[in-house]
Amino acid sequence: MLLYIFLVLVWLVLLFGFVVFFGAPYLPTLGKQKLAALELLDLEPGQTLIELGSGDGRVLLAAAEKGLKAIGYELNPLLVLYSRLRTWRYRKYIKIIWGNFWWFVWPRADGIYVFLLDRYMKKLDKKIIQNYPEQKVKLVSFAFKIPDKKIQEEKDGVYLYNYLPSKKT
Ligand SMILES: C[S@@+](CC[C@H](N)C(=O)[O-])C[C@H]1O[C@@H](n2cnc3c(N)ncnc32)[C@H](O)[C@@H]1O
C-alpha cells in the first residue's frame, strides 16, 4: 500500500514538475490579480482572450462570466481535465487545448493573459510580435515584466502591455 502511495506521489511530482522545462510550474493567480487582469484588459463581450498556461481554469472561467471567448493552453493533462470539468457549463465560450503553447500558432485574439517566469518573458514578447503582426493585442502579465517594453498600466502586480500592428513602409 505504501509503495502505491509513493508511486502516485512520484507520478504527481513528475507531472507537475516537468513543465518547468517549458514554462512556469503550477501556481494559481489570486482572486485580486485575476480581477485586476480582466479590468486592465478591458475587453468587450464577444472578444477573445488567450491564456498561456491556463492552470485550473479560474481565469478562463472569470473571462467567460464576462461574456468573453476564452482559449487556454495547458501542458499538464490533470489540470486540463480538471479545468475542462470546472468550466463545463461555459463550454460554448471556453476551449482548453492540451499542449505546449510555444508549439502552436495562436489564433486571433484581443487579449493574452500569462503568469509565467522571468526567463520566458523575452521569448513571449518575440512570439507575440511574430503571431500578431497585423492586429492590436493586449497582454497582461502577473508578476513578470517584458524586458525593455513600455508598461501601459499596472495594478496589483499585474502589468498591461499593448502590441500594435507593425508599420509597413
Ligand atoms: C504559474 S501557473 C499559472 C496558471 C494560471 N495561468 C493561473 O494564473 O491561475 C503556470 C501554468 O502554465 C502551465 N504551463 C507552463 N508551461 C507551459 C507550456 N509551455 N505550455 C502549456 N502550459 C504550460 C503550467 O502547467 C501551469 O499550470
Closest atom of ligand 1 to CA, residue 142: 8
* DSSP helix/strand/coil, 130: helix
b or e along 138-159 (b: 16 or more beta carbons within 10 Å of the residue's beta carbon)? Answer: bbbbbbbebeeeeeeeeeeebb
pLDDT value of residue 116: 96
Say yes or no: CB of residue 76 within 6 Å of ligand 1: yes
**What residue numbers bound the domain in which 66 lies?**
2-163
pLDDT value of residue 19: 81
In this structure, are residues 113 and 143 in contact, taking their beta carbons and an 8 Å threshold? no
The C-alpha cell that represents 108 in the structure block: 486571433
Site to substitute for ligand 1 among 35, 51, 74, most atoms within 8 A of C-beta = 74
Total of domains in the chain = 1
* Domain-located, residue 91: yes
Per the model's pLDDT, the better-predicted residue between 20 and 51 turns out to be: 51
* Domain-located, residue 84: yes
Closest CA to 71 of 82, 60, 55, 81: 60
For residue 7, what are the CA distances in angstroms to 1, 3, 15, 99?
A: 10, 6, 12, 24
Say yes or no: CB of residue 111 within 6 Å of ligand 1: no
Closest atom of ligand 1 to CA, residue 22: 19
Say yes or no: CB of residue 6 within 6 Å of ligand 1: no
* Domain-located, residue 169: no
The C-alpha cell that represents 154 in the structure block: 499596472
- How far, in Å, CA of 121 to CA of 34, rounded? 19
- Domain containing residue 88: CATH number: 3.40.50.150
Q: What is the pLDDT of residues 53-90, one digit of tens each?
A: 999 999 999 999 999 999 999 999 999 999 999 999 99
Query: How far does residue 26's CA lie from ligand 1's centre (Å)?
Result: 6
DSSP character at residue 144: -
In this structure, are residues 19 and 48 in contact, taking their beta carbons and an 8 Å threshold? no
Say yes or no: CB of residue 102 within 6 Å of ligand 1: yes
- How far, in Å, CA of 129 to CA of 163, rounded? 7
Is residue 169's pLDDT more than 60?
A: no
pLDDT value of residue 82: 97
* Domain-located, residue 40: yes
* Domain-located, residue 146: yes
* Domain-located, residue 168: no
Site to substitute for ligand 1 among 58, 60, 75, 112, most atoms within 8 A of C-beta = 75
pLDDT value of residue 3: 81
* Domain-located, residue 10: yes
Mean pLDDT, residues 127-133: 95
The C-alpha cell that represents 106 in the structure block: 495562436
pTM, whole model, 2 decimals?
0.94
Spatial neighbors of 75 by CB under 8 A, at least 6 apart, are 19, 22, 23, 53, 98, 99, 100, 101
